[in-house]
Structure 1
Amino acid sequence: MTTFVSVNSQTIVRGVIRDAVSQQPLQSVSIYFKGGKGVTSSSDGSYMLATENTRLTVVQFSYVGYKTVSKTLIPNKEQVIDILLEVSDAKSNVVVKTNKRGKYSNKNNPAVELIRQVIDNKDKNRISAYDYVSYEQYEKMEVLLTKTPEKLLNNKFLKNFKFVFQNNDTTKIQGRAMLPVYINEISSQKYYRKNPEKKTTYIIAEKEVNFGEYLDVKGINSYLERMYEDVDVYQNNISLLSNQFLSPIADMAPTFYRFYIADTTEVDGVELVRLNFAPRNLNDLLFKGTLFVTLDGNYSVQKLVMSISKHANLNFVRELHVNQDFEKGQDGRFHLALSNTIVEFALAESAKTGIVGERTVSFKSFTINQPQADSIYKGDAVVRIGSQNAASDTFWQAHRSPPLSEAEVKVYSNIDSLTHLKSFKTFMDVATLLMAGYKSFGGYEVGPVNSFYSFNPVEGLRTRIGGRTTPRFNRNIYLENYVAYGFKDQKWKYYGAVAYSFNHSSIYAYPLNYLKLGYQRDTKIPGQELQFVVEDNFLLSFKRGNNDRWLYNSIFKTEYVREFGKDFGYTLGFKNWKQTPAGIISYLKPDGSSLVNVPNLTTTELSAEFTWAPHRQFYQGKRFRIPIINKYPIFKFRFITGIKGLVKGEYNYQNLNLTIDKRLMLSQLGFADVKLEGGNIFGKVPYPLMTVHRANQTYSYQLESYNLMNFLEFVSDHYAAFSIDQHFNGFFLNKIPLLKKLKWREVASAKVLYGGVRDENNPDLNLSTIKFPVDKQTGLPTTYSLNKSPYIEVSVGVSNILKLLRIDFVKRLTYLDHPEVTEWGIRTRVKFDF
């Protein structure tokens, strides 16, 4: 006998829907309570529908071309009902037959003519067609494991975690048990105004699974939001998984899609056409599926069911499905009522275990053309008016649509219990060491391990040990330190810093608000400011050419960092820097007819840096934040002034720098990352204080550097730079037989640098300043200013090799007469992409 469990006094029905004759499962069947909301069946015909309203007892099954079936349920019970749908009477259903295997053409194709009508009427079916819109939105983001390996369940190290692995959910896909491990729920109120255009979201309540200090849950949620963006079929491009998919009703859809009319029917007095679509090229980032289009003159979308081809040029994606239901509004037009996006990830198609991410968004109380007070409309902003995890269970039961399954409800308490287990904390400590490079000892963590050993020509073998405190040590005060030793130069290096957090949280996590003081004595390659890695990273020890231009630095630095919201931040700083040349570098200055050695330079600087990054997102790592790139630009402006006489500062100067980063989304042509940068130094300064342009002598391809430029090859006191990194996402290779099976993707880049040195700072014209370095054996210069010609390098390559490797052929086009120049090279980069 089958036993059913009542969850929160809900009426629950589930089952599988099949064709009565062929016994094949039917996808996208509408299942709804008569007088209430509903869902659609999955690709395997399975469904699950629930309600807490005891008055809703009749559930209906409706599908275009089939007879509608009604079933009466027992309230507050869970029931399994499998349905066989029969084809409806031909008198009420007109079937338009199309030979799908024949030669396809847009010309004289009624399906293409219909889709052009839908395209022409897109504007009046969008929210922007109304002057005012408001609605309530419920959003659920969930991550599940598709199968837990038996070996993992029986592992003795995980025996204490079995209660988590036993919380399987069978409501997602019929016949498959999945393990929910993360849930985030948001209840919000949305307001839209057309003129002036503003769209404001008020978050009323939010609830999410919390893994404590071991995982950045906010960062995970930001990453998932970027992966699972809102699906708006009326936009030309739909952003999912950090890629752009051409909408089936995009302006250019008839060029890339095939369309077929399946049949027509009438639902609730509205005549509909079921329109099937599929990509012309199965490897392109396009959808296949079905559109239900109204024939009421508005040509609205009434239902959308689509997925991707298994041949699409995506990595680690086994399945991707998007189901959307639209409902008729007050004015007779259709607006979105329910959107569900589900993606299954796996390392390989044959892998037994995978990860499913599901985002469900439901909309209700959709109201049009009812203006609110001006204070409601705060621009394209998100305003939180409710505390996180503070809403009661009663609130969520009233606002969840659809309700949670029993397994989803239980995951909150399971993860909370898990994070309090000593064995789990030990397990996460080991995982953190392996993945992030840090080992925690109470309130202090040692790392990163990849910097414990490195080597370079100046220091020879270099060892380093250090770490930093965590909020477990103190929520306001943070310490950081390391010591290093070079066995060739036989010198100790060290660093120590103390920071005070004004918002009583980690100084490495958003939003930053801290004051930090630090002193460092260490080596550095001139011009190298690596944002995400340190120079003594072991992998960066391997370099091409001569890596013999170094500095010994003694730096005292104070900075105040503050971020406002996610868009704006600034840093105010004080820096006293004593630099001593090392390696083959010597600071030589004319003195009469001879050159004298300048043992070191000391500067004292005040600085201010401002960053404006609209809608920026990031994942918080142990040591740095990984930006989640979106379509919005990032602006950074930096001002530095050197003050002579202050703490032994030797020069007066001002340095201005501006950078603009922007990702251009180019639909079927992929995307391009564009960077504009410019700077100017006012005042008389020697070349070590100028801009030393970023060079790369490693064998990796670095996006921010010039990959065939030598260290300290070019300096400027004014410059402008442009770079572009174009990813075609397989647009060309997808169309080449055999090659398209490899799912390789084309990349191309170009970097152009203009610059120069004014006469007053040019050592060939100003004999009172430090000379450019020369090779001690040949006497030829090794450092130059940019003349009238720019420095240019370009590259072409292939990415997604083995789903993680990018290989570029890089060519340097200018200044080929410089010594030790490499005109071309092969560079690699490792990166996981979807």
Structure 2
Amino acid sequence: MNKPLLGYSLRLYLLVLLCHLPLFQLAAQQITLQGKVIDGESGLPMPACNVYLKNHPHIGTATDENGTFVLTFDFVRDTLLIEFISYQTIEYPLLKAQSQTGLSFTLKPDALSLEAVVVTPGENPAYRIIREAIKRKDEHDKRRLEAYDYEAYNRIEGYVKSSDKGISKLRFVRDMRRVAAGYDMLRTAEGDTLIPVIVNEVVSRVYVKHSPYKRREDVEAQQLTGIGIEDAPALQDILSNTYLTDYNFYRNQINILGKYFPSPLANGWWLVYDYELEDSLEVGGFMCYQLKVIPLREEDIAFTGRIWITKEDYALRKVQLHITPNANINFVRSLAVEQVLAPTQSGVWLPESMFFETEISEFTDLIPAIVARTYSYYKNYHINQAYPNSFYEIREKKLPSEKAQLEKLRVYRAIDGDSTDFRPQIHRLIDTLNQVPSVKRYTGIIKVLSTGYLRKGVIDFGHYARYYAWNNIEGHRLGVGLRTNYHLSDKWMFKGYVAYGTQDERWKYDLRLYHVLSRKRFTLIGARHLADIEPLIQLDQRDDLPELFIASNRFLDLASRRPFFRTMNSVWIDSRLSQLVRAQLTLQQSTLEPLYPFAYYPAPSDTQTRNSSIHTAEVIGMLRLQRAVRLTRDANLDEVDIANRNPRLTLWTILGFKGLLDGDFQYQKVYLQLAQKNANVFGIGHANYSITAGYIFSDIPYPLLRTHLGNNTPILIERAFNQMNGFEFVSDHFVAVHYAHYFEGFILNKLPLIRRVNDKLEWRLVGSVNAVWGGLRASNKALLAQQTADGQPVEGFSELSFQKPYVEVGYGIDNIFKFFRVDFFHRLTYLDSPQAKPFGIKFSAEIKF
């Protein structure tokens, strides 16, 4: 039920959010500054002076050998800084959005400048500074604080860069470009027009506590506008979370775009970076060493740029970093992050401001580039003011009046240096674009492709994957589905589908009703009535299977997948008890009607078989422990935990009752799972893993036991055993492990012979292992009949042993043509099985960075 953020992302305006993107500010009008810098002592021109904007240091240049400079940029209300070592810094306010030429600046020697840095033969002097900064980083890291809180302003913007190719030639893009072209502030230095597709401004109060970790965020103001925005309440919650822009360079790894970048202050810095001591100068009142950060290999996922470390206590004052052009990150043309930190009385340094900018290049020639920017301010810190744990628990979002929100936003817009009317202009422009007929048609198509549903008023029609299938049981399967949306009610939702098979002449349907009891506790109740065909492997799966995987099992040879016609009635309640604990309780009654030769004995001592249906009555309890960052609900009212990559521990208990609601069996099942996605593993890439253990205490027919998920298709499924046949092994007690390690370029970028080739291919190595230890008690094996009452043979299954687990290993190449992945699997055990496949190749495709 905890769906990833990717489910929101395929719409054009949300490609920005795939990365949990922060961004830079866009200014109002392009201007050019042209001038000359002169030495105040000699009167001679000064080359190599740094010329940049104080609050936007990414906008800058240097003087040439004649001391002259030319700086062209989109106007922001800021201050131009001119710096040179051992000279006083000049500050020149920019008050008018007009080009200025003929400027002249005179730099005077600084009597209070740092003493000269003497470089002698031996160790690089930058290494000593880095070692000292790392030695003291625990003193300056905010994680040392017991608690802190602050006020934050985040502005997130997403733009499409128009071009003359691909979909930019289509009418809806031309219409958008024509409207946006009327705004000078949306024109780049290269003459391209930036088409705004989303802008979001948020002011919030953030409370953080360590030991145990707790986080609360109260949104005080927000304005969100986007093209084709659907499910706006959930999207507002997602974009209001400052956790997405919380970068801490005192950590060893920084997660950006789902990639782990080594921090310039990482403990193992010598494996990734080299440094040069460039300068000693004042940065915002603090005397600092200026170090150049140089990745050892340009194709690695690492930073390059500059950092400023204070001389007095070796704290990180400022970072100005970006990626190299050869970094092995798909589609990312540029990425830059800048952060300024300030000290507190505790000795910890906390962020003052943060900029982040990335340009996502064309996925193909059909799709234009996307520019994503964030600009953040942090102020009014309170240090070590801790609250009781109950203070940090989940709270219902309550915003003040619209007037009060706009007043708070205006304050930060003024601090930002923008024209006070610029942000409202962008909001109004996006509203205008939303009303363009061609844009409305296109965004409607994008919504259908990304969500599977077509919105018509208060009804969404879909999911399209359930509308048609053909198989050897149903023949042509025709269906239709729908759900209500929040325009009808934000507390109630009906969802369902109806299908009919032309060969079996039988109706199938799935009807569900949801109701939100409490938004504070994320409490949801629901009811469901199902009558449909399901393959055996879907009967005992605790995690939701992908929609397309379920749909694919309805095509072609459905009869070989041991299908049952399942009739099920269930009611449930699901609640988030705290930031750490989520619980669910379900009452469920099912009837399983076999659609293949199947018979069983009701008990091991029985001699009379049953060919009839299996009836069950169950109480299912689920308890999940996972630290929640910020919660919202998606279009299905399912819980979404924003940007959460923390491990989760889940316990399921299933109790079956004989005689209750015609239940045939008394049983108990217990499953325990530890799982995590995108886990950082010693700084060497990342991994997805899950460890699941289960025990079934009773004697029940094998359709109610654990059928391990095999994969007979050529499509890669990480959660499956890819060289195991679909229904090969059944267990009543087991331990299953799935582990996939994404090495990124860690290996292929370092092997001498392969590295030269891979500089162009940009392939990435993936390694995986899937294993399951299991067993089946003799009493459960005895329940399977050899033949049905009318003499048809009943197909059996294999069993596992804890002394001999099923094991397969895989190795693959990811990022082929930036989309495709090929994995090669070797099955290592149970090779004597008649259907065993010792070797196999699986394929997958995914848009990834």
Query: How does the TM-score come out when normalised to structure 2?
Result: 0.81
Q: Counterpart of 1:69 in structure 2: which amino acid? A: I
Query: Cα–Cα, structure 1 residues 377 and 692, in superposed 2: closer, same or farther, change >3 Å?
Result: closer
Q: Does the aligned pair in 2 maintain the 1:41–1:47 contact within 8 Å? A: no
The CA deviation at 1:797 is: 0.6
Q: Does the aligned pair in 2 maintain the 1:18–1:24 contact within 8 Å? A: no
Q: Does the aligned pair in 1 maintain the 2:458–2:487 contact within 8 Å? A: yes
The CA deviation at 1:392 is: 3.6
The CA deviation at 1:299 is: 1.3
Residue in 2 that maps onto 1:750: 769
Task: Give the one of 165, 168, 179 matched to 2:195.
Answer: 179
CA–CA separation in structure 1 for the residues paired with 2:785 and 2:184: 72
The CA deviation at 1:46 is: 5.3
Q: Does the aligned pair in 1 maintain the 2:31–2:99 contact within 8 Å? A: yes
CA–CA separation in structure 1 for the residues paired with 2:411 and 2:548: 51
1:640-685 superposed Cα distances (whole Å, 9 cap, x missing partner): 2111112211111112222121242125411112211112222221
Alignment of 1:79-94 (within 5 A): 79-81=98-100
The CA deviation at 1:201 is: 4.2
**Corresponding position: 1:551 with 2:564:** yes
CA–CA separation in structure 1 for the residues paired with 2:201 and 2:183: 19
Q: Does the aligned pair in 2 maintain the 1:455–1:536 contact within 8 Å? A: no
1:435-460 superposed Cα distances (whole Å, 9 cap, x missing partner): 33333344333322233332334334
Residue in 2 that maps onto 1:560: 573
Query: Cα–Cα, structure 1 residues 60 and 478, in superposed 2: closer, same or farther, change >3 Å?
Result: closer
CA–CA separation in structure 2 for the residues paired with 1:574 and 1:395: 48
Query: Cα–Cα, structure 1 residues 536 and 194, in superposed 2: closer, same or farther, change >3 Å?
Result: closer
The CA deviation at 1:70 is: 3.6
122-131 or 803-812, which moves further after superposition?
A: 122-131
The CA deviation at 1:65 is: 6.8
The CA deviation at 1:600 is: 1.8
SS of alignment partner, residue 647 of structure 1 = helix
Query: Cα–Cα, structure 1 residues 114 and 782, in superposed 2: closer, same or farther, change >3 Å?
Result: same
Q: Does the aligned pair in 2 maintain the 1:687–1:770 contact within 8 Å? A: yes
CA–CA separation in structure 2 for the residues paired with 1:16 and 1:24: 17
**Corresponding position: 1:204 with 2:220:** yes
Unaligned runs of 5+ in 2: 1-26, 39-43, 62-70
Unaligned runs of 5+ in 1: 1-9, 33-37, 52-56, 100-104, 764-768
**Corresponding position: 1:42 with 2:59:** yes
Q: Counterpart of 2:288 in structure 1: which amino acid? A: L
Query: Cα–Cα, structure 1 residues 93 and 474, in superposed 2: closer, same or farther, change >3 Å?
Result: closer
CA–CA separation in structure 2 for the residues paired with 1:172 and 1:301: 35
CA–CA separation in structure 1 for the residues paired with 2:145 and 2:766: 41
Task: Give the one of 642, 653, 656 matched to 2:656.
Answer: 642
CA–CA separation in structure 1 for the residues paired with 2:595 and 2:36: 79
The CA deviation at 1:632 is: 0.6
The CA deviation at 1:342 is: 0.6
Residue in 2 that maps onto 1:429: 444
Residue in 2 that maps onto 1:7: none
CA–CA separation in structure 2 for the residues paired with 1:527 and 1:351: 39
The CA deviation at 1:229 is: 3.5
SS of alignment partner, residue 299 of structure 1 = coil
Q: Does the aligned pair in 1 maintain the 2:516–2:522 contact within 8 Å? A: no
1:474-498 superposed Cα distances (whole Å, 9 cap, x missing partner): 555543333333444x231311424
Query: Cα–Cα, structure 1 residues 689 and 380, in superposed 2: closer, same or farther, change >3 Å?
Result: closer
Q: Does the aligned pair in 1 maintain the 2:272–2:296 contact within 8 Å? A: yes
SS of alignment partner, residue 343 of structure 1 = strand
SS of alignment partner, residue 412 of structure 1 = helix
1:315-336 superposed Cα distances (whole Å, 9 cap, x missing partner): 1100011122334656898643
CA–CA separation in structure 2 for the residues paired with 1:340 and 1:447: 40
**Corresponding position: 1:661 with 2:682:** no
CA–CA separation in structure 2 for the residues paired with 1:731 and 1:227: 28
**Corresponding position: 1:479 with 2:479:** no
The CA deviation at 1:622 is: 5.9
1:488-533 superposed Cα distances (whole Å, 9 cap, x missing partner): 4x2313114241423599xxx9956232231323343344645221
Task: Give the one of 704, 712, 715 matched to 1:697.
Answer: 712
**Corresponding position: 1:408 with 2:423:** yes
Residue in 2 that maps onto 1:188: 204
Q: Does the aligned pair in 1 maintain the 2:696–2:732 contact within 8 Å? A: yes
SS of alignment partner, residue 502 of structure 1 = strand
Q: Counterpart of 1:522 in structure 2: which amino acid? A: I
CA–CA separation in structure 1 for the residues paired with 2:165 and 2:760: 33
CA–CA separation in structure 1 for the residues paired with 2:566 and 2:748: 49
Q: Counterpart of 1:178 in structure 2: which amino acid? A: L
Residue in 2 that maps onto 1:31: 53
The CA deviation at 1:162 is: 6.2
The CA deviation at 1:131 is: 6.1
Query: Cα–Cα, structure 1 residues 96 and 800, in superposed 2: closer, same or farther, change >3 Å?
Result: farther
SS of alignment partner, residue 155 of structure 2 = strand
1:214-269 superposed Cα distances (whole Å, 9 cap, x missing partner): 25574487489699532222221111111110011211112211111123235677
Q: Does the aligned pair in 2 maintain the 1:168–1:179 contact within 8 Å? A: no
1:299-328 superposed Cα distances (whole Å, 9 cap, x missing partner): 122332111001111011000111223346
Q: Does the aligned pair in 2 maintain the 1:284–1:731 contact within 8 Å? A: yes
Query: How does the TM-score come out when normalised to structure 1?
Result: 0.82
Task: Give the one of 576, 598, 613 matched to 1:600.
Answer: 613
The CA deviation at 1:204 is: 2.8
Residue in 2 that maps onto 1:54: none
Alignment of 1:123-272 (within 5 A): 123-128=138-143, 133-147=148-162, 149=164, 156=171, 165-166=180-181, 168=183, 170=185, 174=189, 177-191=193-207, 200-209=216-225, 214=230, 218-219=234-235, 222=238, 229-266=245-282, 270-272=286-288
Q: Does the aligned pair in 1 maintain the 2:395–2:521 contact within 8 Å? A: no
Query: Cα–Cα, structure 1 residues 59 and 376, in superposed 2: closer, same or farther, change >3 Å?
Result: farther
Number of residue-to-residue matches in the alignment = 793
1:704-724 superposed Cα distances (whole Å, 9 cap, x missing partner): 211122222222222222221
SS of alignment partner, residue 821 of structure 1 = coil
CA–CA separation in structure 2 for the residues paired with 1:11 and 1:738: 44
Residue in 1 that maps onto 2:505: 491
Considering only aligned residues, what root-mean-square deviation do their CA atoms show, in Å?
4.4
Give the structure, 1 or 2, with the largest relative contact order (CA under 8 Å, sep 6 or more): 2
The CA deviation at 1:733 is: 0.9
Query: Cα–Cα, structure 1 residues 552 and 196, in superposed 2: closer, same or farther, change >3 Å?
Result: closer
